[in-house]
Structure 1
Amino acid sequence: MKYGRVMELQEDFYIPIPLDTDNITSLSPFLVPQDHLASSGIFYMMAVFMFFIFIVGTLINALTVACTIQNKKLRSHLNYILVNLAVSNLLVAGVGSFTACCSFSNKYFILGPLACRIEGFIATLGGMVSLWSLCVIAFERWLVICKPLGTFIFKPDHAIACCVSTWVLALLASAPPLFGWSRYIPEGLQCSCGPDWYTTDNKYNNESYVMYLFVGHFAIPLVLIIFCYAQLLITLKMAAKAQAESASTQKAEREVTRMVVLMVVGFLVCWLPYASFAIWVVNNRGQPFDLRFASIPSVFSKASTVYNPFIYVLLNKQFRACMMKMMGMGGADDEESSTSSVTEVSKVGPA
């Protein structure tokens, strides 16, 4: 189907206008399948992928929370933050991925405009909590390992305060579209919802909101994460150089270096596509773009509910041992050895 270069603005959606269509309402993503945007195969492929993210993301994050509740030794200040990350991932997987799966299966957002706003808000809230939790983890590692404040001890109360702050910051990012600063509409293939990156309507002030998100909730966390992990790696290099003959120190350095690389790459994979797409749209108003590619940033951000736990939880030996024991796949010996290894490595790294 051929399209004009114009995209039509409606109260609840924003889609391309086929040249042979006069009534844009007849193509509403809340009323009819969006077959004009992509083939059925693409919609069903996305539905399968979202179903996978929903099942695996819900399972692994729920298991993280359950393990922490069941095992007192997992209730450390760092693990509080990991649980906070898991809860935010559960929101995204349980609401965002599940809703997207149902919508992709039907090839349009079947739940209506109100549900779109709710899904967009919850998915954005969970995503922002996840983003700021990653920032808090980097900050905590910097405080504990690099000791910039000398004898300051990062305690559980501090971790709880940091977790609360992630939700406050996330609300500051996700709530404005509910009150008229931007809005939540179907995005990409119109089967999931997010902030309106597309329009310049003065009624919603979308451009200022996009810049606010980019600077306040992407650039600043990214700078903090890079700074903290750069300082961490410098400290590790110095420790390894001072203890060149210590096999345990060298091993710890390698493990933490690997973890740091995965953390930064995971952050960028999750948020760089979204931030880049939003900024491109804002700076290239009127330029046509394929809505199939516009779905990619949303998919990457929702997939973080799976790969974030793999990086932060399953590579944490203590969590991994407890999960295996909980599922009847590990014993006390494995758990004890993992705990001793964690204690040794924690002197210089997050594992």
Structure 2
Amino acid sequence: MVVNMEQCVMAESTVPLLNQRASPGTVALRSSASPDPAGHWEEPSFTVASKVRVVATVCLFLFACGSNWAVLASAARKGRKSPLRVLILSLSAADLLVTLVVMPLDTVWNITVQWYAGDAACKLLNFLKLFAMYSSSLVLVVISLDRQAAILHPFSFTSAGQRNRNMLAVAWAASAVLASPQLFLFHLQKASGLDFTQCVTMGSFQQHWQETLYNMFTFLTLYVMPLSAMVVCYSRILWEISRQMKEDRGLVRSNNDHFSKARMKTLRMTIVMVVSFIVCWTPYYLLGLWYWFRPEMLREIPEYVNHTLLLFGLLHTCSDPVVYGLYTPSFREDLYACWGRLGSGLTRHRLAHRPPSLSFLNVQDYGLTADLSVHGSVGSVTSNGTAVQTGF
């Protein structure tokens, strides 16, 4: 992940890999290597692969920003009291945080190549980046726990709202705590003999094993543990559904059991969201693991591989609102209503600024006034004059 795999190599050096052009969004740029036989250093540049990554990230940003704002507005509407509503609100907020922090930071950093924003921004933005990724993962865990309780303990529905709020508070607080080391690890470092400054963790660890331990801890808490919790929750859910279906009672008593069908539909939606998280982020995490155990792999894989896997991971912030829209009729109704209001507003705007039509001629004699009918082709004549209206 952008806050995981790259972080593990930023600590090594502010000097880029020798004779390897890479964008600052890649792990290669912010890592180091021993000098080549010729002893030449090549400063990183804004490569073609980096430019493609920037364009793709901007497209993802526009879609994720608009779609997650739409979900946030729809779920926040008054009168919708479903216990799942507050969970969807938090997931949309977490996805928006990733969209508004990770994507712009990655885009600008790729363009500028080095860091120009100062030491305070270096610390704060890297903290927010990791905080956003933690919140997205942990909110999905909370949703999984909520679905497990809804299926395994259906009669606890009345306390679900308070339970979800408590779990979300813990998830957001844990995200802040787990991301807080970034405030102390990241700092500015200037390359020796070069006009090149980078935001790195170099020098923050006294021993290499300490750095590896921190990276593995981040990997476990950011990906492995949340994924394990989701898998356990949905495995228990599917086992319970299978058991009750065999006993012909409980969850799906009949095709007309509206509550059960609604619950199963919500369950399918959350499962798809979790699967999307796994599919989008797993390849990039595996690449990070590969680097930790074999750092020289950076020279063996093409630059575009890292770019592609990161973009595929960021695609997860776009998939959540799409899945929510597919499984939530009220969200689609809100979109149609918003689109209708937008179309009506544009139509009124065009009519208000349209120049007078040449198909209607109003002839006014001296001080005589005419009150033209809005819908008819004949004007209403006032008592003090006449108006002649000719339609073509």
TM-score between both structures, scaled by the size of structure 2: 0.64
Change (3 A) 1:74 1:206: farther
CA distance in 2, matches of 1:162, 1:194: 34
Q: Residue 269 of structure 2 corresponds to which residue in structure 1?
A: 259
Q: Residue 178 of structure 1 corresponds to which residue in structure 2?
A: 183
State the 1:238 CA deviation. 3.8
Match of 1:283 among 266, 281, 293: 293
Matches within 5 A, 1:111-126: 111-112=116-117, 114=119, 115-126=121-132
Q: Residue 60 of structure 1 corresponds to which residue in structure 2?
A: 67
Residue by residue, what CA displacement relative to the aligned partner does 1:222-245 show, whole Å, maximum 9, x if unpaired? Answer: 111111112222333344441688
Matches within 5 A, 1:186-205: 202=207, 205=210
CA distance in 1, matches of 2:146, 2:337: 28
State the 1:56 CA deviation. 0.9
Q: Residue 128 of structure 1 corresponds to which residue in structure 2?
A: 134
Report the number of matched residues: 301
State the 1:87 CA deviation. 1.1
Contact persistence 1:124–1:194 (CA under 8 A): no
Partner of 1:15, secondary structure, is coil
Q: Residue 208 of structure 1 corresponds to which residue in structure 2?
A: 213
Partner of 2:17, secondary structure, is strand
Q: Residue 224 of structure 2 corresponds to which residue in structure 1?
A: 219
CA distance in 2, matches of 1:208, 1:316: 42
State the 1:204 CA deviation. 8.9
Matches within 5 A, 1:103-118: 103-104=109-110, 106=111, 108-109=113-114, 111-112=116-117, 114=119, 115-118=121-124
Does residue 167 (structure 1) correspond to residue 168 (structure 2)? The answer is: no
Unaligned runs of 5+ in 1: 1-7, 186-192, 330-351
Q: Residue 91 of structure 1 corresponds to which residue in structure 2?
A: 97
Match of 1:308 among 306, 320, 339: 320
Identical columns (%): 20
State the 1:129 CA deviation. 0.4
CA distance in 1, matches of 2:104, 2:179: 19
Match of 2:163 among 158, 162, 179: 158
Residue by residue, what CA displacement relative to the aligned partner does 1:163-211 show, whole Å, maximum 9, x if unpaired? Answer: 221212212332212223x7799xxxxxxx99979x9872793211121
Unaligned runs of 5+ in 2: 1-8, 20-35, 190-197, 342-392
Which of 303-312 and 13-22 deviates more? 13-22
Change (3 A) 1:312 1:9: closer
Does residue 323 (structure 1) correspond to residue 335 (structure 2)? The answer is: yes
Change (3 A) 1:126 1:288: closer
Contact persistence 1:127–1:301 (CA under 8 A): no
Q: Radius of gyration: which is bigger? A: 2
CA distance in 2, matches of 1:151, 1:59: 35
TM-score between both structures, scaled by the size of structure 1: 0.71
Change (3 A) 1:11 1:278: closer
Contact persistence 2:291–2:298 (CA under 8 A): no
CA distance in 1, matches of 2:318, 2:243: 34
Higher helix share: 1
Matches within 5 A, 1:15-34: 15-18=16-19, 19=36, 22=39, 24=41, 27=43, 33-34=45-46
Match of 1:273 among 269, 283, 304: 283
Change (3 A) 1:263 1:68: closer
Change (3 A) 1:139 1:245: closer
Change (3 A) 1:311 1:220: same
CA distance in 2, matches of 1:151, 1:91: 31
CA distance in 1, matches of 2:336, 2:209: 49
Which of 86-95 and 235-244 deviates more? 235-244
Contact persistence 2:130–2:179 (CA under 8 A): yes
CA distance in 2, matches of 1:302, 1:184: 26
Q: Residue 333 of structure 1 corresponds to which residue in structure 2?
A: none
State the 1:133 CA deviation. 0.6
Contact persistence 2:122–2:187 (CA under 8 A): no
